Amino acid sequence: MLPRKDCERLMAVGEPVELVLAEVLYERDTVVSHVYFPVDGFVSLVTQVDKHPSLEVGMVGREGMVGAPMALGIATTPLRAVVQGAGSAWRIGAVPFRRELARSPALKQCLDRYLYVIMAQLATSAACLRFHLIEPRLARWLLMTQDRAHADSFHVTHDFLAYMLGVRRVGVTMAAGALQASGLIEYHRGELKVLDRAGLEAAACSCYAADLRGYDSVMA
């Protein structure tokens, strides 16, 4: 989306890295040393309240950037960033990133728009957790994951799903079983395959479509 010169300048100060499954890129309230632009990996943004289990509130793939507060000039992050899908990414140090942000109005505008997308995603996640049942929420999460994995199959355990959705493992087991019984997914020993994308979209809560509309209307 950037002009060629701006993009080349940004790429010149970055480096390719591999994102490892379950790797923690940031802890909450820590100083951000690098920002990440995923290429084919993706990252979960999770929060924690008191001693309760963590809960995913956002997801970043190649459509976005991990370390978005840096675009506002804020050096710390309020969320934990955990690699959910292994793959490659482009990593840029905080200092050169801030320098390029100051030099490029196009980069600033693009990231301002993306920050709006992230804010909308966080708000949607909060409402989704409060008002929607586990099965439609799981369908939404699987669609978001498939979009960022760029594949019909990916590895995910029941324990990890429970962690991401903020529910007990038994609830995830029942919801995944219902989606499998409907012929929408195939799940065995941590390997999940989407069999019916259209059916999964129909089973998902309205939050998935809302996320897509929000991104398309702001970033297009």
Please report, for the domain that includes residue 71, its CATH number: 2.60.120.10
Same domain, 23 and 117: yes
Helix (H) or strand (E) holding 43: strand 42-47
- pTM of model > 0.85: yes
**What is the pLDDT of the chain when averaged over all its residues?**
93
Same domain, 27 and 112: yes
pLDDT in tens, 143-177: 999 999 889 998 888 888 888 888 888 999 999 99
Question: Does residue 218 fall inside a structural domain?
Answer: no
pLDDT the model gives residue 27: 94
Same domain, 190 and 106: no
**Token pair for residue 21?**
């499954």
Model confidence at 77: pLDDT above 80: yes
| Confidence label for 123 from pLDDT (cuts 50, 70 and 90) | very high
Contact present, 36 and 65 (Cβ < 8 Å)? yes
Cα(183)–Cα(187) distance, integer angstroms: 11
Question: Does residue 209 fall inside a structural domain?
Answer: no
Count: domains in the chain: 2
| Confidence label for 102 from pLDDT (cuts 50, 70 and 90) | very high
Range of the domain at 66: 4-126
Cα(4)–Cα(165) distance, integer angstroms: 39
Cα(59)–Cα(68) distance, integer angstroms: 12
- Give the 3-state secondary structure of residue 141: helix
Of 69, 94, 126, the one marking the end of a domain is: 126
pLDDT in tens, 179-210: 999 999 999 888 999 999 999 999 999 999 99
pLDDT the model gives residue 214: 87
Question: Does residue 10 fall inside a structural domain?
Answer: yes
Model confidence at 51: pLDDT above 80: no
Tokens 């990133």 sit at which residue?
97
For the segment 63-84, the average pLDDT, to the nearest whole number, is 94
Same domain, 68 and 140: no
Same domain, 144 and 122: no
Q: In CATH, what number is assigned to the domain containing residue 188?
A: 1.10.10.10
